[in-house]
Amino acid sequence: MEEISLTINGKHISCLPGTSILNAALENSIKIPTLCHHPHLEPIGACRLCLVEDEKSGRIMASCVTPASPNMVICTDSTTIKEHRRNIIRLMMANHPESCIVCSQGNRCELRRIAAELGVGELRLYPMPHYTGLEEANPFLIRDLSKCILCGKCIRADHELVVVGAIDYNLRGFKSRPATVHEMPLEKSNCTFCGTCVSMCPTGALSAKNPRYVGSPQKESSTICGFCGVGCSLVMGSVDGQIVEVNPSHQEGTVNGPTLCIRGHFTHDFLNVPERLTTPLIRRDGELSPSTWDDALEVVAEGLISIKKKHGPQSVAFLGSSKCTIEENYLFQKIARVGLGTNNVDNGSYGLGRAIVDRVNEKLEGGGCVTPLAGLEKAELVFVIGANPTQSLPVVGYYIKRASRVRGIPLIVVDPREIELVPFSTMWLPLVPHTDCELINSLAAILYKSNAYDIDFINRFTGGFDLYSSTLSSLDLQRMSRVTGVDMEVMEKAANVIEGKRIAFVIGHGILQQRYGAAAMDAILNLALMTGSLGGEGKGLFFLATENNQVGAWNMGAVPDLLPGRQSLRNDMMRKQWEQAWEVKLSPDPGLNMVRMIEEAGKGNLKAFYVMGENPRRSLPQPERITNALGNLELLVVQDILATETTQMADVVLPGAAFSEKGGTFTNLEGRIQSFEQVVSPPGDAKPDWEILDLLLGKMGYSKKYSSLQEIRAEISQLVPMYSGLRSSREASWVREASAMRLFRPDGVGEPIHFSPVTSTDAKTYQKEYPFKAILGSVPYHLGSGTRTGRSNRIKEFGLRGEVEISPEDGARLNLKEGDHVRISSPYGQISREVMLKKGLRPGLIFIPMAFHNNDARHLIELSRLGVVDSPGWKECQVKLEKIED
Ligand code: SF4
Ligand code: SF4
Ligand code: SF4
Ligand code: FES
């Protein structure tokens, strides 16, 4: 497109047609004051502060909503303009309350800053403050709308960025204010307390509720959120070495832009709780007592080495953390493999469906590791299956809602429950749980019958389509409709929506943690191949990763069967390269995975267990079994930031630093590698995990020591091709895909990707005495088992009860009403919960939110492992319900 030329403040500039005068000026470093403008929001021209003058016509206009025209001559700071701006600010100040002086926004208030810049002194106007009273009943944010200047940023953030629609303009003229429907308090609205509006508010009208501190923080530092796999970019404000507030970083090109979710914004108060570990502890005479680092590490090193000598390397195991950094995971698996000669190393993501993603990765030969979420807003069709991102990874939910509502991209949701994305969808396919495989195969069969497949893609890149398509042709679609519970007509309509489009599949734990998830995943991959939906922007497979560094821990080889860079232990060439680099002999045999570690401890075969940043007594199924297994060990070492159910049983406790108290690198679910620096110091004697591991290597007599994070990063970037772009700077880089696959190469030379056979998981049997299917799922207030978010005072104060959701039909049958209590029993245990009747839930299906009541839902599931079924299946179970009479 040809650029246009204009003049601003005597400077000749050019810009693309359609660019606003404001943006044209900003792109050329010409500053214009604004209050309602934000680069991520649609301009509305509300504040009129960005007025500029057209020197040719004398016209005065709001530059944020006026497009630049060819040959315009604009002045941004004429005397007239400045006087207009001063008057606007005077009017705003006259409407403002006196509480300005003690406002929590403090010196960061944009209204005050602009007033000072414009030299607004005496108001010379009669004060007309508009007192509204404070709204502060919820523990997250305070609204003092007497300070509102009606810039509309909060409303636009709510509508355009997080697409919730909790607030809108209410009333008119002088009384107009952003409000919820019927002016209900926020906690009674559909507000998710993401805080995005708070970070955008230019005044103190919206602020984070902070019981410990009011005012501007002493220091603000950028880092990466330590909760989920999105890896949002944050700015943490601290006072006297404690985090007092969190905001999105507002840097360019981050995954989250100006948004966050409730966890990232408000639950970091868990970092300051009294349960933080501050000193190493050693168990003496049955009690954990404080010790020096030297003594504690001596006990650990001697214990590990002597147990290995006595019982062999298989008697020692290492459970690392998908919450720790890549540098720490690299060192952790190195201690296991090099220091102790064992491949018994895993991390908590085992239970989150790693094996299924691993399978896809193998099929794609390492391709598809980089899937920028921005692609969702450029897709032809978004297909969400087994995923509830608005709850589990809210920022992914924002992307999908924007794709649908703002960009008009078709959205198909496949889920047994009417999840929050359903009202945004073009179609909802409410299938019977566990029938994803049958549903996807049916859609593929309908598409095949209508010749709606990408034959060019299939011929160039795939193999085995003939066999696949002939099996599809023989599918009994009427039967599939009965099995899946989805009407034929609905399936046909969905196929119609898909026809001719490349698909962006968003795949969540409903598939990854499903017992028969591998079969469902094969079906999805087949559909992706058939529709040409792999390779390139706006299509492909978007796997949801629960933990912040789940992908990084995997990439660093903190898993029993892969070396760093996802290189197979069984591959002689790759193993030899690592043997040379580390100067050791490595066993080609995969070690124990997380569940097998527990099993072997239970049998008495595992003697020493080193747990870093995991809390298996709270996070794993069948907690009594875990407790018994850990009780059998000769040495249990737990390295963590908090005193947990697992540290209670440890022989040695090593206090680690939280992500904000150390430097490091996380890899998010997109394959984005993000390094970050320390924000505050760790409490007491706690140390960054990499430093603890490095000291331990020294104690174990390993000659290679690392004096800095940079040295570890240098080793990783040199030895792990995927991370050759790893830099120490804060600028993000991306995982380098190892794939030699032709899909991702323009020359198209390479092995074809084969269609998998069409299978069915229809032969499942359920025990009749447990007639309900329970889905165990996430809520945005907690992450995982809630070890961290459960410690947040704000979350505690909010008083959520974690009710079980039951359909009104089942409620009527069991004589249950809202607020009643039920006993929920499975073959493995029982819990009790308050009842919530949920419209739209399929009868026979119930939903139990995880993390509540010390994550008691894990009593209902079995500590099953891979190899027996496709996935541990920790997402659902069969249960019975009994009303608990008062
Ligand atoms: S509350 Fe803040 S962001 Fe919202 S309209 Fe008022 S001043 Fe603007
Ligand atoms: S906190 Fe989030 S959901 Fe609530 S009103 Fe603000 S932007 Fe909307
Ligand atoms: S929890 Fe996830 S979505 Fe929420 S702010 Fe942190 S990284 Fe972002
Ligand atoms: S910034 Fe243009 S009208 Fe507010």
3-state SS of 253-264? CCCCCCCCCHHH
Tell me what pLDDT residue 350 has.
84
Tell me what pLDDT residue 725 has.
81
DSSP one-letter code for 620: S
Let me know if 394 is exposed, middle or buried by CB neighbors in 10 A (0-12, 13-18, 19+). buried
Q: Which of 40, 104, 392, 548 is nearest to 248 (CA)?
A: 40
Confidence of residue 765 (pLDDT cuts 50, 70, 90): low
Tell me what pLDDT residue 176 has.
77
Q: Cα-Cα-Cα-Cα dihedral of 435, 441, 446, 452, to 10°?
A: 140
Residues 182 and 139: beta-carbon distance below 8 Å: no
**Ligand 3 centre distance from Cα of residue 421 (Å):** 18
Tell me whether strands 4-8 and 11-15 are parallel, antiparallel or unpaired.
Answer: antiparallel
pLDDT at 202 exceeding the cut of 70: yes
**Ligand 4 centre distance from Cα of residue 62 (Å):** 6
Ligand 3 binding pocket includes 544 (Cβ within 6 Å): no
pLDDT at 259 exceeding the cut of 80: yes
Atom of ligand 3 nearest to the CA of 227: 1
**Ligand 4 centre distance from Cα of residue 36 (Å):** 5
DSSP code string of 126-178: --------EE--SSSEEEEGGG-----HHHHIIIIIS-----EEES-GGG-EE
pLDDT at 766 exceeding the cut of 80: no
Tell me what pLDDT residue 759 has.
85
> Residue 25, CB half-sphere, CA atoms under 13 Å: how many?
26
What gap in Å lies between CA 885 and CA 530, rounded to an integer? Answer: 54
Ligand 3 binding pocket includes 260 (Cβ within 6 Å): yes
User: Six-digit token pair at 737?
Assistant: 């895909």
User: Six-digit token pair at 78?
Assistant: 């004429």
pLDDT by residue (tens digit) across 565-624?
A: 999 999 999 999 999 999 999 999 999 999 999 999 999 999 999 999 999 999 999 999
Mean pLDDT of the chain: 92
Confidence of residue 170 (pLDDT cuts 50, 70, 90): confident
What gap in Å lies between CA 541 and CA 557, rounded to an integer? Answer: 22
Nearest protein CA to atom 2 of ligand 3, as residue = 228
Query: DSSP alpha helices (H): ranges in 488-571?
Result: 488-498, 509-512, 517-530, 550-555
Average pLDDT score over residue span 198-217 = 88
Nearest protein CA to atom 8 of ligand 2, as residue = 158
Q: How far is CA 846 from the centre of its chain?
A: 25
Nearest ligand to the CA atom of 149: 1
Question: Which segment of 324-333, 707-716, 732-741 scores lowest on mean pLDDT?
Answer: 732-741
What gap in Å lies between CA 663 and CA 42, rounded to an integer? Answer: 36
Tell me what pLDDT residue 83 has.
94
**Ligand 2 centre distance from Cα of residue 145 (Å):** 15
**Ligand 3 centre distance from Cα of residue 606 (Å):** 36
What gap in Å lies between CA 690 and CA 360, rounded to an integer? Answer: 31
Give whole-number Cα distances, 200 to 160, 220, 250, in Å.
13, 16, 10
Angle between helices 79-94 and 110-117 (to 10 degrees): 140
Ligand 1 binding pocket includes 562 (Cβ within 6 Å): no
pLDDT by residue (tens digit) across 776-814?
A: 998 889 998 899 999 999 999 998 999 999 999 999 999
pTM, two decimal places: 0.95
DSSP code string of 551-607: HHHHHTT-SSSEETTTEETT-HHHHHHHHHHHTS---SS----HHHHHHHHHHT---
**Ligand 1 centre distance from Cα of residue 427 (Å):** 35
pLDDT at 347 exceeding the cut of 90: yes
What gap in Å lies between CA 332 and CA 606, rounded to an integer? Answer: 18
What gap in Å lies between CA 282 and CA 34, rounded to an integer? Answer: 58
Cβ < 6 Å from ligand 4: which residues?
34-37, 45-50, 62, 64
pLDDT at 110 exceeding the cut of 60: yes
Nearest ligand to the CA atom of 392: 3
Ligand 1 binding pocket includes 157 (Cβ within 6 Å): no
Q: Is 246 helix (H, G, I), strand (E, B) or coil?
A: strand
Confidence of residue 743 (pLDDT cuts 50, 70, 90): low
Residues 609 and 308: beta-carbon distance below 8 Å: no
Task: State what percent of residues in the chain have pLDDT above 90.
Answer: 79
Task: State what percent of residues in the chain have pLDDT above 70.
Answer: 96
User: Six-digit token pair at 776?
Assistant: 């165990």
> Residue 167, CB half-sphere, CA atoms under 13 Å: how many?
28
Return the best residue to mutate from 108, 147, 154 for the ligand 1 pocket (most ligand atoms within 8 A of CB): 154
pLDDT at 762 exceeding the cut of 70: no
Identify the top-confidence range among 133-147, 350-364, 420-434: 420-434
pLDDT at 703 exceeding the cut of 80: no
Beta-ladder partners of 239: 242
Confidence of residue 181 (pLDDT cuts 50, 70, 90): confident
- The angle formed by the CA atoms of residues 173, 174 and 176, to the nearest 5 degrees, is 65
Average pLDDT score over residue span 133-159 = 91
Residues 601 and 609: beta-carbon distance below 8 Å: yes
Residue 701 gets the label, from left (phi > 0), alpha (psi -120 to 50) or beta, of: left
Average pLDDT score over residue span 116-127 = 78
Nearest ligand to the CA atom of 60: 4
Residues 272 and 685: beta-carbon distance below 8 Å: no
Q: To which H or E segment does residue 473 belong?
A: helix 465-473
Instruction: Please report where in the chains the tokens 């009780």 appear, as a residue.
Output: 631
Return the best residue to mutate from 145, 149, 170 for the ligand 1 pocket (most ligand atoms within 8 A of CB): 149
Tell me what pLDDT residue 137 has.
81
Question: Which segment of 207-221, 372-386, 605-619, 681-695 scores lowest on mean pLDDT?
Answer: 207-221
Give whole-number Cα distances, 702 to 308, 622, 766, in Å.
16, 38, 53
User: Six-digit token pair at 366?
Assistant: 């390492």
Confidence of residue 123 (pLDDT cuts 50, 70, 90): low
Question: Which segment of 41-50, 174-183, 620-629 scores lowest on mean pLDDT?
Answer: 174-183
Residue type, 326: I
What gap in Å lies between CA 137 and CA 348, rounded to an integer? Answer: 37
What gap in Å lies between CA 650 and CA 537, rounded to an integer? Answer: 48
Ligand 3 binding pocket includes 162 (Cβ within 6 Å): no
Tell me what pLDDT residue 117 has.
92
Give whole-number Cα distances, 45 to 20, 34, 48, 62, in Å.
11, 10, 6, 6
Q: Which of 799, 796, 794, 800 is nearest to 139 (CA)?
A: 794
Nearest protein CA to atom 2 of ligand 2, as residue = 194
Instruction: Please report where in the chains the tokens 């005012």 appear, as a residue.
Output: 215
Nearest protein CA to atom 6 of ligand 1, as residue = 148
What gap in Å lies between CA 886 and CA 881, rounded to an integer? Answer: 16
pLDDT by residue (tens digit) across 461-507?
A: 899 999 999 999 999 999 999 999 999 999 999 999 999 999 999 99
Residues 851 and 789: beta-carbon distance below 8 Å: yes
Tell me what pLDDT residue 130 has.
72
pLDDT by residue (tens digit) across 403-421?
A: 999 999 999 999 999 999 9
User: Six-digit token pair at 571?
Assistant: 């591959």
Q: Cα-Cα-Cα-Cα dihedral of 368, 374, 375, 376, to 10°?
A: 110
Tell me what pLDDT residue 666 has.
97
Nearest ligand to the CA atom of 47: 4
pLDDT at 283 exceeding the cut of 60: yes
User: Six-digit token pair at 787?
Assistant: 């070890």
**Ligand 1 centre distance from Cα of residue 159 (Å):** 14
What gap in Å lies between CA 11 and CA 6, rounded to an integer? Answer: 8
- Phi and psi at residue 139, to the nearest 5°: -85, 5
Return the best residue to mutate from 180, 194, 261 for the ligand 2 pocket (most ligand atoms within 8 A of CB): 194
Question: Which segment of 520-524, 724-728, 823-827, 851-855 scores lowest on mean pLDDT?
Answer: 724-728
Q: How far is CA 419 from the centre of its chain?
A: 18
Tell me what pLDDT residue 136 has.
76
Residues 507 and 385: beta-carbon distance below 8 Å: yes
Residues 444 and 438: beta-carbon distance below 8 Å: no
User: Six-digit token pair at 303?
Assistant: 């214990």
Tell me what pLDDT residue 749 has.
60
What do you get for the CA distance between the two ends of the chain, in Å? 73
**Ligand 4 centre distance from Cα of residue 318 (Å):** 57
Tell me what pLDDT residue 365 has.
81
**Ligand 3 centre distance from Cα of residue 691 (Å):** 26
Nearest protein CA to atom 4 of ligand 2, as residue = 191
Tell me what pLDDT residue 405 has.
96
Nearest ligand to the CA atom of 232: 3
Let me know if 54 is exposed, middle or buried by CB neighbors in 10 A (0-12, 13-18, 19+). middle
Q: For the chain, what is the radius of gyration of the CA atoms?
A: 29
Tell me what pLDDT residue 876 has.
87
Question: Which segment of 130-139, 250-259, 635-644 scores lowest on mean pLDDT?
Answer: 130-139
Tell me what pLDDT residue 746 has.
56
Nearest ligand to the CA atom of 190: 2
Instruction: Please report where in the chains the tokens 């880092």 appear, as a residue.
Output: 223
Q: Which of 648, 633, 554 is nearest to 593 (CA)?
A: 554
Tell me what pLDDT residue 524 has.
98
Give whole-number Cα distances, 590 to 288, 313, 359, 561, 603, in Å.
34, 13, 16, 4, 20
Residue type, 680: V
pLDDT at 346 exceeding the cut of 80: yes
Average pLDDT score over residue span 147-154 = 94
Handedness of CA 794, 797, 798, 801 (dihedral sign): positive
The more confident residue out of 21 and 216 is: 21
